[in-house]
C-alpha cells in the first residue's frame, strides 16, 4: 500500500446479500442478476467484510480457523469480486 493511503476495508455492495441456501447446503451471494455459490473459505472471507476490518485483520481472524491463510490470496479474491461490483472498498 502506498504511503499515506488508507488500508482497504472491504464490504458487500448494497445490492448484494450473503446468505445460506438450505437447498444447496452452501452459502451463496445473491445479486439482482445472479446467484454465486461459495465454498466455505469464500463464505468465511465475505462474512468478515463489514467495512470496518482491513484485509490484514480479516486474514488474522481467519488464521484462527484455517491452517494456511495467505493475505495476498484474500486480496486477489476480493479484487475479483470488486471488479464484479459485488464488494466495495
Residues 23-61: tens digit of each pLDDT: 999 999 999 999 999 999 999 999 999 999 999 999 999
Residue 78: domain span? 11-84
In a domain, 89, yes or no: no
In a domain, 58, yes or no: yes
Count the domains in the chain: 1
Round to whole Å and give the CA distance between 87 and 78: 7
Q: pLDDT confidence of 17, banded at 50, 70, 90?
A: very high
Q: What is the CATH number of the domain that holds 32?
A: 3.90.930.60
DSSP H helical segments within 1-89, as ranges?
A: 40-47, 55-62, 71-83
The predicted structure's pLDDT at residue 5: 76
Identify the H or E element spanning 51. Answer: none
Mean pLDDT of all residues in the chain? Answer: 94
Percent of the chain past pLDDT 70, that is, above it, reads 96
In a domain, 27, yes or no: yes
Amino acid at each position: 500500500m502506498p504511503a499515506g493511503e488508507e488500508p482497504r476495508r472491504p464490504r458487500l455492495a448494497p445490492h448484494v446479500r450473503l446468505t445460506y441456501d438450505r437447498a444447496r447446503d452452501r452459502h451463496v451471494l445473491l445479486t439482482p442478476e445472479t446467484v454465486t455459490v461459495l465454498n466455505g473459505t469464500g463464505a468465511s472471507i465475505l462474512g468478515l467484510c463489514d467495512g470496518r476490518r482491513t484485509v490484514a485483520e480479516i486474514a488474522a481472524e481467519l488464521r484462527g480457523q484455517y491452517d494456511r491463510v495467505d493475505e495476498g490470496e484474500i486480496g486477489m479474491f476480493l479484487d475479483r469480486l470488486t471488479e464484479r461490483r459485488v464488494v466495495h472498498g
